[in-house]
Amino acid sequence: MKLHILGTAAQLPTKSRSQNAYFLEWMEEGILFDPGEGAQRQFTLAGISPGRIRRIFISHFHGDHCLGLPGILQRLSLMEVPQTVKIYFPEEGADFFHALENASQYTRRIEFEVHPLKAGLVEETGTHRIECVSLDHSTPVLGYRLTLLPQERFDPDQLARYGLEGPAVGELEQKGSLDWKGEHLTREALSYRTKEKVFAYVLDTGACEAVPGLVRNADCVLMEATYLESEQVLADAFRHMTAEQAARYARDNGVQKLVLTHYSERYKDLNIYQKAVENIFKNTHIAQDFDEIEF
Query: Catalytic one among 64, 157, 252, 269?
Result: 64
Residues 46 and 165 reside in one and the same domain? no
Selection from 47, 32, 35, 38 nearest residue 15 by Cα: 38
Residues 133 and 42 reside in one and the same domain? yes
The reported pLDDT for the residue numbered 190 is 94
Residues 240 and 265 reside in one and the same domain? yes
Between CA 181 and CA 14 the distance in angstroms is 65
Between CA 79 and CA 57 the distance in angstroms is 20
Residues 69 and 213 reside in one and the same domain? yes
Between CA 238 and CA 28 the distance in angstroms is 37
Between CA 90 and CA 19 the distance in angstroms is 20
CATH code of the domain covering residue 217: 3.60.15.10
Integer CA distances (angstroms), 199 to 1, 148, 149, 223, in order: 9, 9, 12, 11
Between CA 116 and CA 137 the distance in angstroms is 18
Region 170-180 average pLDDT: 94
Q: Are strands 220-224 and 258-261 parallel, antiparallel or unpaired?
A: parallel
H or E stretch at 117? strand 112-117
Residue 125's Cβ-count burial label (10 Å; 0-12, 13-18, 19+) is exposed
- Taking only the tens place, the pLDDT of each residue in 161-172 is 999 999 999 999
Residues 106 and 251 reside in one and the same domain? yes
- Taking only the tens place, the pLDDT of each residue in 79-131 is 999 999 999 999 999 999 999 999 999 999 999 999 999 999 999 999 999 99
Q: Domain total for the chain?
A: 2
- Taking only the tens place, the pLDDT of each residue in 265-275 is 999 999 999 99
The span from the first CA to the last CA of the chain, in angstroms, equals: 6
Q: Which residues contact 92 (CB under 8 A, 6 or more apart)?
A: 139, 140
Selection from 231, 295, 216, 228 nearest residue 257 by Cα: 295
Residues 286 and 182 reside in one and the same domain? no
- Taking only the tens place, the pLDDT of each residue in 27-83 is 999 999 999 999 999 999 999 999 999 999 999 999 999 999 999 999 999 999 999
Residues 131 and 268 reside in one and the same domain? yes
Is position 179 annotated as part of the catalytic site? Answer: no
- Taking only the tens place, the pLDDT of each residue in 210-254 is 999 999 999 999 999 999 999 999 999 999 999 999 999 999 999
Query: 194 versus 8: which is more confidently predicted?
Result: 8
Residues 79 and 177 reside in one and the same domain? no
Residues 164 and 147 reside in one and the same domain? no
The reported pLDDT for the residue numbered 172 is 94
Domain enclosing residue 176, as ranges? 154-186
Give the dihedral sign, CA 271/284/58/232: negative
Q: Is residue 276 classed as helix, strand or coil in its secondary structure?
A: helix
Residues 72 and 163 reside in one and the same domain? no
Residues 87 and 173 reside in one and the same domain? no
Q: Are strands 220-224 and 197-202 parallel, antiparallel or unpaired?
A: parallel
Residues 216 and 241 reside in one and the same domain? yes
